[in-house]
Amino acid sequence: MDEPVLYRETFTITGDDFEHGGDAAAAVKAAMKDLGLDPAIIRRLSIANFEAEMNVIMYADEARMDLVITPSAIRVVVADRGPGIADIDLAMQEGYSTATAEMRARGFGAGMGLPNIRRSTDSFEIESVPGTGTTLRYSVSLRPAGDG
């Protein structure tokens, strides 16, 4: 069942806006720090958020990054308006990238973005409609099993 939403804050990301690349991820990180969340959780989500944000800047037109806190997890939803991904399985493969030479010159396009998001989070879902856009949903659990 849906858990109650304790907190929600939304950030916007604009495609091609390299000048502000990383700002949304930094704002989410500042919010999580302000809320006193566990540094390990902040670190894992920040890696995911940065990758997700740069994906939007490089490939999509615009997106909303939603930070949602429930009693059990920090969830992030990044929903973009953009070209979408034709073959998600291929995009999830490490090293696969459609980045242009220019993007690679900026240090992106190593084909590690989506795999990195999946690796640093506890749950990860991707949905994409070619020609319309892509939505990423990922989360990090607040109360890990055991005494972790």
Partner 1 sequence: MDAAIHSVIREEARCVGCVACSQACPTKAIRVRRDLMSIDPATCIDCGECIRACRYDAVHARTSSPSVLKRFKYTVAVPSTTIYTQFGSDFTPAQVAAALVANGFDSFYDVSWMCEMVSRAVDAYLSECGGPWPKISVTCPAIIRLILIRYPDLVPHLIPVHTPRELAAKMARRKFAASLGMRPDEIGIFYITPCSAMMQSIVAPVGLLESNFDGAFSIAELYGPMLRTLKGGTHLLDDRFNPSGLAWAMVGGETAGMRNKNSLSVTGVHDVTSVFDTIEAGKFQNVDFIEAYICPDGCVSGQLLIEGRYAARRTLQRIQARLKGESAVAEEKVRSMFREHFFDMEGEIKAPVIEPMTETLQQAIRRRQEKHRLLDELPKKDCAACGAPDCTTFAEDILAGEAKLEDCVFVKLRALEDRQG
Pick the closer one to partner 1 by CB: 33 or 132: 33
- Please state the closest distance from residue 84 (CB atom) to partner 1, in A: 27
> Binding residues for partner 1, per CB under 8 A?
6-7, 25-26, 29, 31, 34-37, 39, 43, 46-47, 50, 69, 120, 142
- Please state the closest distance from residue 134 (CB atom) to partner 1, in A: 22
Pick the closer one to partner 1 by CB: 5 or 88: 5
Pick the closer one to partner 1 by CB: 43 or 86: 43
* Structure tokens belonging to residue 127: 């949905």
Pick the closer one to partner 1 by CB: 37 or 126: 37
- Please state the closest distance from residue 99 (CB atom) to partner 1, in A: 17
